[in-house]
Amino acid sequence: MNQLDQLKQYTTIVADTGDFQSMKAFAPQDATTNPSLILKAVQKDEYKPLLEGAVKEFKSESTSTIIDHVLVNFGLEILKLIPGRVSTETDARLSFDTEGTIAKGRELIEFYEAAGISRERVLIKIASTWEGIRAAEVLEKEGIRCNMTLLFSLPQAIACADANVQLISPFVGRIYDWYKKNTGDDYFGDEDPGVQSVKRIYNYYRKFGYKTEVMGASFRNTTQITELAGCDLLTISPELLKKLSESDAPVERKLSPEAAQSADIEKVTLDEKQFRLMLNEDAMGTEKLAEGIRLFCADAVKLEKLVNHLR
C-alpha cells in the first residue's frame, strides 16, 4: 500500500482545499476550506461561476451575505464529492465577537439546510479565541457542530474541549515555521515542535476522556503527517496527498487512545483569566493566533472587493 492508504488505516483523511476538483483522486472522508483557499480558488476560471452565480442571485443582499453564499456554494460542490463533512469558516473579523460569530454560524447552517444539506454534514470553522470558543459552546448546544481553527497551544485546546466542541484543528506547520524562524534550527520527525504540540493535545484529550476530535492541520511536509498517524483526523493539501500516494514507505501508528493513558500530563482547570494568562505566556501561540487572524481578515477584504467589483 502507498502511504496514503496506510494512513487511512489509522486516521480519517481530510482534503484541505478550495480546489475541489483536485481532491477526487484521493477519496478523502471530509474536506476543509478557509478564506485564503476560497480566495485562491475563485480566481480560477473553473470556479468563477460559483462566485458570479452568488453575486447575480443575491445582488440585493449585503456583501457579507453574498460571500456567505459563495462559501456555501463551494461547500455544496465539495459535499457532492465526499461522504463526510465540509468545514466552512466564519468571517475572521468576528474572532473577538461572540454574538456576531453565533449569528454567522446560524446563518451559514441556515443556507446549507435551505439547500437540502443536514447540519450533521457541516462544521462551522471558528478562530480559537476565548470569544470564539464561547460562541462555539452556544452553537454546539443548538446542534451546530464546530471546527476550532487557528489553534496553536494547549490552553486553547483545553478550553475547546471544556466547551464540548466537535473538533479542533491544531496547526502543525505554522508552529514549525515559528520555531524555525526564531531558533534558526530545522526540525525533523518527532522533534518537530508542531508534531509535538498535536501529540500533547491528543494525549491530553484521550487521557482525560474528552470526546472532541483532533484534526492536525497546516502541514509543510509528509513527515509531519506520518508522525501523527493515529490522530483522529488529518487535513492535508492536494500537493501532499499526491506525495503520500506516490510513496510506499512504511507508516507506523504513532498515536492511540491506549498509549495516551500513560502520558505524563496533568489536568488543567481553566477560566477566562487563566486561559488568557497561559496563552500570553506562550509567545508562539500568541503571535501565530494574531497573525493568522490578520491574514484571514486580509483575504476576507480581498474577497469583498472581488464581489463588489462584480456587483
Query: Residue 286 — pLDDT band, cuts 50, 70, 90?
Result: very high
Which residues lie across from 125 on neighbouring strands? 89, 147
H or E element in which residue 235 lies: strand 233-236
Give the span between the Cα atoms of 101 and 311, in whole angstroms. 26
Residues 6+ apart with CB under 8 A from 264: none
The pLDDT tens digits for 36-62 are: 999 999 999 999 999 999 999 999 999
What's the mean pLDDT when you consider all of the chain? 97
**Where do we find the cell 480546489?**
19
pLDDT at residue 157 is higher than 90: yes
Query: Residue 186 — pLDDT band, cuts 50, 70, 90?
Result: very high
Burial of 283 (0-12, 13-18, 19+ CB in 10 A): exposed
Strand residues in 9-141 grouped as ranges (E): 12-16, 30-32, 86-89, 122-127
pLDDT at residue 215 is higher than 90: yes
CB 237 within 8 Å of CB 16: yes
Q: How far apart are the first and last CA of the chain?
A: 50
pLDDT at residue 238 is higher than 90: yes
Maximum Cα–Cα distance for the chain, whole Å? 58
Q: Is 125 a catalytic residue?
A: yes
| Grid cell locating 31 | 474536506
Catalytic residue among 8, 104, 125, 288, which?
Answer: 125
Burial of 133 (0-12, 13-18, 19+ CB in 10 A): buried
DSSP 3-state of 282: coil
pLDDT at residue 24 is higher than 90: no
What is the topology classification, in CATH, of domain 3-310?
TIM Barrel (3.20.20)
Query: Residue 135 — pLDDT band, cuts 50, 70, 90?
Result: very high
Structure confidence at residue 35 (pLDDT): 86
